Structure 1
Amino acid sequence: MASVELHNIHKAYGALPVIHDVSLAIGDGEFIALVGPSGCGKSTLLRMIAGLEEITDGDVSIGGQVVNALTPRERNIAMVFQSYALYPHMTVAQNMGFNLKLSGETKQVIEQRVNEAARMLDLTKLLDRKPAQLSGGQRQRVAMGRAVVRNPAVFLFDEPLSNLDAKLRVQMRSEIKALHQKVQTTSIYVTHDQIEAMTLADRIVVLNQGKIEQQGTPIELYRRPANLFVAGFIGSPAMNFLDGVADGVDGSPAVRLKDGTQVRIASARKVKPGQNVKIGLRPEHLSLTGDGSALTGQTLLVEPTGAQTHVLFELAGEQVTAVVDGEAPVRYGEQLKVTVNADQVYVFDSGSGLAL
């Protein structure tokens, strides 16, 4: 295991900059998720750590050693890709042990490490099979096993679950989590799926246009987003945003929406009367039975999901999503009335996008 540090990393393709002065410290044994929309630079950053992309400026350190000039093999990292990249003519055991064979390890050592990784990943009964005889989830476990046998200092995952169906993704998430808990190897995981990041990572780093917007534990980013971008990216369904003006009602701070609706906000929000703001409402914070500001609008769409129902309704000229109890009597075309507690109303400056 080893710590990983990025010092003022820049990356440009010719005159086009894609990574802007990124610095990040990843502790020994920590599981970090790099998240952000497509094109934000997260895979490029991972490939620079791996040595697959040249760094334009800055340093990458692994275990306290600057590795800019080292090859990927010399960095003692193992990478799991979106594609399984298994050799079709080799068995599972041969695929898992191939890198060890290239490194000159003895047959005894290779067999021991392959069997140990196979037990960890429930592949023991599949060791004699070829990749064509495996399911997608089994192939991804083999790809993970190939990384595990090397006992690397750092695991790098580049959207490893994006090729799997929804059920398999949930299963493989659990297996990656269990793997990290067993081996405690420093892990950096790239994904555009914030649910994967929330469930897997000790800490999430949110990237946007080659810069770090915010980093913190999953619950920190969920409860205290630094700006509009992070607030809209973390949480599923996504946070609702509505334009308004800072106001007051009955002596308490509030935001007046376009249609005149007053939404109370916590007194801790640093707003000035008349300030143009955006409020953020998480769908799961909109309640049919709770206390707080009342919000009313016409129901546009009802999506039952079982235990919960997602309801799209109109509020102040915008479409807003609420997550309510699955048995709630909500119907298309009817008026929907929900409430939101002042402490659960997020407020952002309209100009800068920063949380207030």
Structure 2
Amino acid sequence: MKVDLFDFELPQTSIAQHPASPKDTARLLVVGDQAFEDTCVLELAAHLRANDILVFNDTKVIPARLVGKRGEAGVEVTLHKRVSADTWYVFARPAKKLKIGDTVHFADDLSADVCEKTDSGEVLLHFSRTDDPLMETLQRVGVMPLPPYIKRPKTGEAQDGNDYQTLFATHLGAVAAPTAGLHFTERMMASLTDRGIKTARVTLHVGAGTFLPVKVEDTRDHKMHSEWGEISAETAAAINQARRNGGRVVAVGTTSLRLLESAAQDNGTLAAFSGDTDIFITPGYRFKIVDVLMSNFHLPKSTLFMLVSAFAGLKRMKAAYNHAIQSGYRFYSYGDACLLARDEDTSL
């Protein structure tokens, strides 16, 4: 499909720079077939059914952005994908000036050697440190890797350390937050329990590739970066049981949906999963397991807008996004959310 089909006008003022406070007071657009309902994230339970199962991504964001120097030249890197405890693929600026064998110094006790440069623009760094494990060192010297659309000083803002983690964040490894999960609070979870709605967790370590623009003209020519994910046998069994009981699978965020669909079987059941996925979902994809999607609002021509258009229909999503823009909804990581039913079943 032509990438231009997924373009729309988005004012810069629509991109949220900070989350709602409290987080569960963000707006929620319920997207029906013929009408839209403007409500609040805190009211999510009212739009779900007993026996539905919400699936959260419990990955935890690491402070993956580092500022350093190669000689006297400044270098900024964002960790992208783990190869080993001390070796990561990164996106670097300026990547073109880095050469294999160069050393980048980030702090007195943290430096990295350039081992490889890929055709896709990634750089492989091997980190050297004096005392603490790399993850502990990053907690001291790294910055939360907010997307480039959120404007921050290079040293970041302290509050982002909490704002950019979900209530479920457990397993370190993501370099971008599963942002639909940012809205959930303890009082929201209580309201879901009161309504008889079940929950489950999966892990997908979101990579920085989620921020990369689509530079090709046709979606068939775009290469997705792979991300590591895991679904336990227990989680798969719980989701399969919920479906047998008549409940719907509600993916909280596109990351949960991508992992669930990667592990789904053609007969509509879910299998345990552990490994990489580079699934790229565009209109025409046949969904196997996810019935409802809660998602933030995404940017024009992004792979994430392509995904929600595949899920709920391109025409319907363009109309929903136009309504959101005209109604002052806030977009992207710190923005508001929408609730979508699959295109062949538009009832919520």
Structure with greater Cα Rg:
1
Band of TM-score, shorter chain: under 0.3
- Structure having the higher strand fraction is 1
Q: Which has the bigger relative contact order, CA under 8 A and spacing at least 6?
A: 2
